[in-house]
Amino acid sequence: MHTPDWLKLTSAALESSFDAILILEIQVPEATILYANRRAEELTGYTQQELLGLSPRMLESHHIGEQDLIQLAAAIRELKPYHGTARFMRKDGSIYWAELNLVPIDIEPQGRYWVSAHRDVTREMEATEALRKSEFLHRVIIENSPSLYRMYNREGRCVYASASSVRILGYTPEALLGLSRELLHSDDADVFPVQGFRDLWAGLKDFHQFEYRLQHKNGQMIWVSSTMRMIGSPDHPEDQLLLVVTEDISARKRAEQEAQEQTVRYTSLLDLKYRILQASQPSEVTGQAIELALPLTEYEFGMFISFQGDQLRLEGFHGADREHLEPLLQQLVARNTRATILQLLQGTEPVFISADQTRVGRLEIPIRKTFRTFAVLPIHAEGEIFGAISFAHREAVQVSESTKRLLSAIEERVSLAYSKLIGFQRLEESREETMRTLGLALEYRDYETKGHTDRVIDLCDRLGQGLGLDEDTLKELRWGAYLHDIGKISTPDAVLLKPGKLNPEEWDVIKQHPVVGYELTRAIPSLPERTLDIVLYHQERWNGSGYPEGRRGEEIPFLARVFAVVDVYDALTSERPYKRAFSHEEAVAQLLKESGTLLDPEIVRVFLGVMGAGPGFDP
C-alpha cells in the first residue's frame, strides 16, 4: 500500500476546511499568526500574506466582553483548550459572529503551538438575537397590555398569567397559577362547551370567543370577554397550551344595560301614553301608571292616594306583600289629611325621600317603619291637586337619577291626562245635568208626573247593571231616559194636562211626541245613536201595537225595549188624574201580564229580579 505524504495531505485538509484555521505562536503576552487558510482569508477580509506575522488580537472587536478575555487568558496560561462564541471584526470594520475553538499542540522538538478554529455563526447568532428580541418584545407587550393573558394546560389549570390580572381581577399572576374555574360565576358554566374545548385541542377550530362573569378579589362579579386559542402542535399534545386573552367589559355591559333600561322605559312611556288615551276614568290613568312604572324602579310597591275633601283614600295599590302592606297603609292614610300631603309636596313637583331623610322643607318626617324610601308624585289639573301617586320601599334603597327622571316624566303625563279626563268628566257632568234639567222642565208643565225623571233614571241604572251593560251603554240609556219625553214640549197644554181620558184626536197628538223629540234631539251632534233610539222608539211594543212605527220584537232597538219596561213600571206605580198608583206587587203582576205581549220577556225577567220580585216571577 502506498504511504501518503502526510504533510501535503494535512495542508490540503486545512485549506479545504469550512472553518477559518489559524496556527498561532503564543509567548504571553504576545501572539503571532504563523498560518492562515483560505477560509480565514474569506472570513476576515485579510489576505493570507497580510495575516502572517500579525497578532490575532487585531480581529477582536469592542463587543468582546471583559469576562470572555479573562477566561481566554486563563486557558492559555493553564494550557487548556478554550471554547467560546464572540463577535470579531473584519478588515473593513464589519462585525461577524464566530464560534472559537483554541487548542494547544506540542510538537517535538519545535515546541508548543495553538490551533485556532473560527466557525462563522453570524446567521445563527443573528437569528437567535432576533428571536430573543422578538420574545422580549412580546413579553413587554403582554405584560403591559390592558388585556389579561392566561395559559392553561390540558388539565385545565392555569400555568401562566400576565400582570394585568391585578388590574382586572385584583389577584397577582402568582395567585392565579393552578386555578381552573374557581373564579367563574356559577350561572356561566355553560359558556365553556366541552366539545368546543375538544375542537380547539384537536386543531379543528381556530378560536372560541365568549362573554361571562368572573369574581374579583373584592367579591364583586365583573363581566369579561375572552378569546381562546390553542398554541402548539396537535402532533405534540404534551407541548400544547390554551391561550386565553381576556378583556374587562364591565363598562360596556353597564352601558348596554342602561341602554336596554332606557329602551324599556321609553317603550313603557309610549305604552302608558297609549293606555292613557284609552282610559275613560281618572282612576284608570293612575292605576296604569303605577302598574307600568313600578317594575322599572327600585321601589317595592306603589299606590294612589286620592283627596276626598280634607280626607285621604288609598286607591290602586300595586306591588309585593299586598295582604300585609295594604291594611297598614290604609291605617296610615286614615291618620293623615289632605293638608299633610300638600305640606309635604309644597307645590306640583315630585318629592323623593331617602331612608335617612327626616325633613322636607319645614315639614318634619318621623322615623318610618312601613316604608323608609319613598317618592310622592302630585297629580294635578288646572292648578288643583287631586291626589298623589306614591312609590315606596320598606328598606333603605338608592334611587337612581334615571328613575327620578322616569317618574317625573310619568307624573307630567299622568297629570296632563288627568286634567283632560277631569275636564271631560266635568263636561259630561254638565251635559248630564243639562239633560236632567230638560227632563225636569217637562215635569214642571205636568205636576202630576213630578219625580218621574229621577225615578226612571234610578230604575234604568239598576236594570242596566242587572243586564250587565258597560258604562258607555249605561250612559246612553240614562241620557235617553232624560230626553225620552222631550217631544211633549210641543204638545198643547189642553192635551198634555187633560184630567180625563183622551179622545182619538188627542191620542194622535200624543203619539207625535216621539217623532218630535227625535227631530229635536238628532240635531245635537254629541248624542249617541242608541240614545236617539230611546227617544224615538220607547213607545213601541213587543207585539207591534206601539207607535210611531209599529215595530215588533227585536226590530225595536234594545235600549228602547229596556227603557219601555222601566217607563211602564213607573207609570203603573205613579198616580195619574185618570188612575190610582199601583202597589209594587200589582205593578209586578201587570208586568208579568204584559211580558211577551207588550214588553220584552227577557228584560222583564231581569227587571223583576233586580226589583226583588224573586225567581218565582218567571214570565
Domain ranges of the chain: 6-120, 145-248, 257-424, 446-610
CA distance 164 to 150: 10
Mean pLDDT of 68-96: 89
CA distance 222 to 215: 6
Mean pLDDT taken over the chain = 84
Q: What are phi and psi of 98, to 5 degrees?
A: -140, 145
Q: What local confidence, expressed as pLDDT, does residue 448 receive? A: 47
Q: What angle do the packed helices 471-483 and 452-466 form, to 10 degrees?
A: 150
Which CATH number is 145-248 given? 3.30.450.20
Mean pLDDT of 178-196: 83
Whether 299 shows a pLDDT value over 70: the answer reads: yes
CA 311 distance to own-chain centroid: 39
Under the banding of pLDDT at 50, 70 and 90, the label for residue 518 is: very high
Mean pLDDT of 69-96: 89
Asked whether 36 and 48 are in contact (CB, 8 A), the reply is: yes
CA distance 71 to 77: 10
Asked whether 538 and 566 are in contact (CB, 8 A), the reply is: no
Alpha helices in 354-470 (DSSP H): 401-445, 452-466
**Which CATH class for the 257-424 domain?**
alpha beta
Tens of pLDDT, residue by residue over 382-412, are 778 888 889 989 888 999 888 888 888 888 8
Whether 469 shows a pLDDT value over 90: the answer reads: yes
Tell me the percentage of the chain whose pLDDT exceeds 70: 90
CA distance 366 to 371: 11
CA distance 146 to 140: 12
Mean pLDDT of 350-354: 88
Q: What local confidence, expressed as pLDDT, does residue 542 receive? A: 95
Report the predicted TM-score, pTM, of the whole model to 2 decimal places: 0.47
C-alpha R_g of the chain: 53
Most confident of 92-101, 255-264, 281-290, 517-526: 92-101
Whether 616 shows a pLDDT value over 50: the answer reads: no
Exposed e or buried b per residue across 41-69, where buried means at least 16 C-beta atoms within 10 angstroms of its C-beta: bebbbbeeeebeeeebeebbeeebeeebe
Q: What is the DSSP string of 238-301?
A: GG-EEEEEEEE-HHHHHHHHHHHHHHHHHHHHHHHHHHHHH--SHHHHHHHHHHHHGGGSS-SE
Whether 165 shows a pLDDT value over 70: the answer reads: yes
The CATH topology of domain 6-120 is: Beta-Lactamase (3.30.450)
> Domain 446-610 is classified in which CATH homologous superfamily?
Hypothetical protein af1432 (1.10.3210.10)
H or E element at residue 587: helix 584-594
Q: What local confidence, expressed as pLDDT, does residue 536 receive? A: 95
Say if 145-248 and 257-424 have the same CATH topology: yes
Mean pLDDT of 573-581: 78
